[in-house]
Structure 1
């Protein structure tokens, strides 16, 4: 069986995305805003600051200019890319710079990703080093002293940015500081191969990490970095057989997409197992990249301008003259990753650290179960929440999960809150970020939440789930959870077909029995 063509679908994606990227960027060379990639700021005037992380759009345009499809516009595209780097430089020098979500944020992701793009544009001669020197020096000082332990992809991007700054500005380099940051960064990789992302693994962000690890390797030639790439791909390669339509909500950060550049580069340049693992992942993730059901069809302009756009452009350059990547079609035996908690079998993935959500797949369809929501007055208690507080253990033919559900109330944005946010940010800068993360992202179970005990068994393409929820009140409503997770992650919540049809090609039946303070629900999901 021949390997699928990867170049053609990714090229169609890139051709759809290029006009969208260019629309987001100010293209007027006579404007002081020339090169700004935040259309909401420079054009619509509905934002009071430019989100500087979007300056990666300039790097995407430069990478596109290297491809045959846009070769005739290369000079014009590189002029916009250079302007994007110069605009980044002016913003990098402002009070509490590196804003993404609100003014004076001093955020780590815009520091890491936008700086990496600017430094590479300078190294490649797209923009003069002198035009971005001041911004790169400011960024380097922060990258040597700040550390993002909760989001490995961001920290790896920051380390790669620092490596490229040291390459562009060798007279300013601090090898001892770089070595220290590098050691801490690579320690974020779990023994199973994944990097920590808000308490667990996320394949979407792991793909971003692999892109950035390749950038780090290109700047340093460090063999430790290549080893980290191979281990990450070994972990990723376990998932295609279990989740043929993608992992999505089974990620710690709910991320549907994968970026292609690093994976495809390993499929071409890797050795032995790394090459085979990467090719398997690439075929799984990108063979249908131009499909209307693919995550790229629902990717918004923000993330196209962020790192996804330039990853696609870079992957296309690798695939020129090499449309397909051969790989074996290994089907692993049922396996439990003790660290990540994922239980994988052929056509089945269960995430115990997300309350035991599951997806079962066959060639004829796919069905998912996203647990339960208990509604109590204005509070919801949810089981679909990634946390180390869940306990789990294998059982005959499956796995059991137990733990307290997580209380949730929706956070609503309003003008007063934004006024307060801006005042606090102007004074506190980056010291405000951990507080906001605790409010929006991280939760810990208390002692009053309902308790869920879940047992999942599978056989012959069917799944049986026995749930017992204790600690209920007579007025509580117990609802089947939709696909969407309540945990706030900016890159998540793109449209997915399962938002409208969580079960396709399967039938679901349930039996309920209740007492005043508990309910038992047996759910069976069987092929039609």
Structure 2
């Protein structure tokens, strides 16, 4: 298996798509900006600073990583870094989704990308480093050092790593919150099972983003805590790979359906389990059926593609892969509420996400598509509830190969933008800056205190014959119950890429039910059907 050739074929296919996002006109006042909606379409009146991670692609081209392109002007590389510098206001703030946002993730990932590149330039291309406007980067570093992200660990990790590089580059002095305090909090956010907290639970996509930045954090600090954290995360991911050699993405707390390779590839230089993950997750990267091809332009530009091309130079240094000894073993991961059941002959396995309302997946060896269940939605008088919602409110009872999930369904809603809503948001953001972010998260993401739908109980059991599901929904007069589509109603920007799974009929069928009275639904999946 020539993974280097596979990765390079994908990079060749996609690199022009990334360069198109950048303003490449040296005379333009927005030269180097990677937000095409801003500089070209002019449908946005501010640049989204997180997109400047596209500078990693320019570095890959300069280092001859992508066979089909070469000879990139140094002016472009400098321009990408100075474009971020222009986007930083005098208080060190940058925006991502709306003006005056003071976005933490844009600050964290922007500082990380620019300082990572600048640190490399100081060693190998000091003539480039001298052309970078550093004063705004100092503003950015000091602003970032004064803030702490506790809910999204991947953002926190990027912030800590960016600050570590900034400190090495003498861009940071007398931070309001000590870098060590931020770092300690980051490692404390890792559960003993190996996952980092992403809005209360594990998320494979964002976990691999965390690995990307942690391998660079270790390179700049030699902090052994990073190595231990990376290895725990790798083991967690390996334990979740299914009989079809795929991860069960719909179990994720933040609903991402991708993983990124750079951190895994770098770790594979010393960890054969990471090498196995790279092989099973990315061996078909150059095929259009691979999950990365469905990623939208925004996330492809600043996460997926950057990680892929950064991984290429390190692929040949990976150790021989090693299938984990525990792979194929049934396990109950109480911390995150995952039940994983494997058939004895390892031809199929099943998953339950108990903290997501008992969502079920079944993966089979040699099968392209899994058997899927996305729970239920309940409709009543233009109000919507769902069982497919990550929350600690679910009551879970697990014993052996049987698990019970009980609770009330989560009220949710769609958020449709409009000019008046955006006007109100801009006014609030101008007045409150980052203080408006917790309010938006409460409304669009967490929605606490609204588990007021019908009572729900799901009992799931496993044996060598297959999976049985029995559920009870209490009467809720005037309501209808419908099988949920794949889409989850918690808003996460990087979620909802197209998947073939959207066309699959739910394990629970496609029938609607009335809740004028209690209903009981029995279903099963037989392994030999």
TM-score by length of 2: 0.92
CA-to-partner distance for each residue in 1:285-338, whole Å, 9 max, x for gaps?
Answer: 21122232221110111012212221101111112x458842225433211111
CA-CA distance at 1:101 after TM superposition: 0.2
Aligned 8 A contact 1:242 1:349 in 2: no
Q: Specify the alignment match of 2:411 in structure 1.
A: 407
Q: Specify the alignment match of 1:19 in structure 2.
A: 16
CA–CA separation in structure 2 for the residues paired with 1:175 and 1:481: 46
CA-CA distance at 1:72 after TM superposition: 6.4
Q: Specify the alignment match of 1:488 in structure 2.
A: 491
Compared with structure 1, are the counterparts of its residues 280 and 241 closer, same or farther at alpha carbon in structure 2 (3 Å cutoff)?
Answer: farther
Q: Specify the alignment match of 2:79 in structure 1.
A: 83
| Among candidates 292, 302, 308, match of residue 304 of structure 2 | 308
| Among candidates 417, 424, 429, match of residue 425 of structure 1 | 429
Q: Specify the alignment match of 1:341 in structure 2.
A: 337
CA-CA distance at 1:447 after TM superposition: 6.1
- 1:317 aligned onto 2:313: yes
Q: Specify the alignment match of 1:358 in structure 2.
A: 360
- Of the structure 1 ranges 255-264 and 175-184, higher mean CA displacement relative to structure 2 is found in 175-184
2:268 alignment partner, SS class: helix
2:329 alignment partner, SS class: coil
Compared with structure 1, are the counterparts of its residues 511 and 491 closer, same or farther at alpha carbon in structure 2 (3 Å cutoff)?
Answer: closer
CA–CA separation in structure 2 for the residues paired with 1:202 and 1:25: 30
- Of the structure 1 ranges 149-158 and 394-403, higher mean CA displacement relative to structure 2 is found in 394-403
Q: Specify the alignment match of 1:376 in structure 2.
A: 380
Q: Specify the alignment match of 1:462 in structure 2.
A: 466
Aligned 8 A contact 2:208 2:261 in 1: yes
Q: Specify the alignment match of 1:216 in structure 2.
A: 217
Q: Specify the alignment match of 2:346 in structure 1.
A: none
- Of the structure 1 ranges 442-451 and 410-419, higher mean CA displacement relative to structure 2 is found in 442-451
Aligned 8 A contact 1:35 1:85 in 2: yes
Aligned 8 A contact 2:442 2:448 in 1: no
Aligned 8 A contact 2:25 2:31 in 1: yes
Which residues of 2 match residues 194-343 of structure 1 at below 5 A?
194-241=195-242, 244-268=245-269, 270=270, 275-319=271-315, 321=316, 325-328=320-323, 330=325, 331-343=327-339
C-alpha RMSD of the superposition: 2.3
Give the unaligned 5+ runs of structure 1.
Answer: none
CA–CA separation in structure 1 for the residues paired with 2:312 and 2:105: 25
CA–CA separation in structure 2 for the residues paired with 1:486 and 1:176: 35
CA-to-partner distance for each residue in 1:130-187, whole Å, 9 max, x for gaps?
Answer: 6231122112212222010000000000000000011111673769812122111211
Which residues of 2 match residues 438-457 of structure 1 at below 5 A?
438-446=442-450, 448-457=452-461
Aligned 8 A contact 1:5 1:324 in 2: no
CA-CA distance at 1:511 after TM superposition: 9.7
TM-score by length of 1: 0.92
Compared with structure 1, are the counterparts of its residues 323 and 189 closer, same or farther at alpha carbon in structure 2 (3 Å cutoff)?
Answer: closer
CA–CA separation in structure 2 for the residues paired with 1:379 and 1:131: 53
Q: Specify the alignment match of 2:524 in structure 1.
A: 524
CA–CA separation in structure 1 for the residues paired with 2:378 and 2:197: 29
1:204 alignment partner, SS class: helix
Give the unaligned 5+ runs of structure 2.
Answer: 343-348
CA–CA separation in structure 2 for the residues paired with 1:180 and 1:129: 32
Aligned 8 A contact 2:107 2:140 in 1: yes
Q: Specify the alignment match of 1:387 in structure 2.
A: 391
CA–CA separation in structure 2 for the residues paired with 1:428 and 1:296: 37
Aligned 8 A contact 1:288 1:294 in 2: yes
CA-CA distance at 1:426 after TM superposition: 1.2
CA–CA separation in structure 2 for the residues paired with 1:463 and 1:512: 22
Aligned 8 A contact 2:355 2:391 in 1: yes
Which one has more relative contact order, counting CA pairs under 8 Å at least 6 apart? 1
CA–CA separation in structure 1 for the residues paired with 2:28 and 2:67: 24
Compared with structure 1, are the counterparts of its residues 218 and 118 closer, same or farther at alpha carbon in structure 2 (3 Å cutoff)?
Answer: same
CA–CA separation in structure 1 for the residues paired with 2:501 and 2:417: 27
CA-CA distance at 1:244 after TM superposition: 3.0
CA-CA distance at 1:65 after TM superposition: 2.6
CA-CA distance at 1:468 after TM superposition: 0.6
Q: Specify the alignment match of 1:28 in structure 2.
A: 25
1:104 alignment partner, SS class: coil
CA–CA separation in structure 2 for the residues paired with 1:175 and 1:431: 18
Compared with structure 1, are the counterparts of its residues 176 and 351 closer, same or farther at alpha carbon in structure 2 (3 Å cutoff)?
Answer: closer
CA–CA separation in structure 2 for the residues paired with 1:83 and 1:513: 58
Aligned 8 A contact 2:92 2:136 in 1: no
Compared with structure 1, are the counterparts of its residues 447 and 420 closer, same or farther at alpha carbon in structure 2 (3 Å cutoff)?
Answer: closer
CA-CA distance at 1:461 after TM superposition: 5.7
Aligned 8 A contact 1:260 1:311 in 2: yes
CA-to-partner distance for each residue in 1:422-473, whole Å, 9 max, x for gaps?
Answer: 1111111101100000010002344631111001112336221111111411
Compared with structure 1, are the counterparts of its residues 423 and 96 closer, same or farther at alpha carbon in structure 2 (3 Å cutoff)?
Answer: farther
- Of the structure 1 ranges 17-26 and 396-405, higher mean CA displacement relative to structure 2 is found in 396-405
CA-CA distance at 1:265 after TM superposition: 1.0
CA-to-partner distance for each residue in 1:164-217, whole Å, 9 max, x for gaps?
Answer: 011111673769812122111211111211111011110110100011111111
Aligned 8 A contact 1:508 1:525 in 2: no
Number of residue equivalences: 514
Aligned 8 A contact 1:250 1:357 in 2: yes
CA–CA separation in structure 2 for the residues paired with 1:344 and 1:375: 31
Aligned 8 A contact 2:357 2:390 in 1: yes
2:70 alignment partner, SS class: helix
Q: Specify the alignment match of 2:44 in structure 1.
A: 47
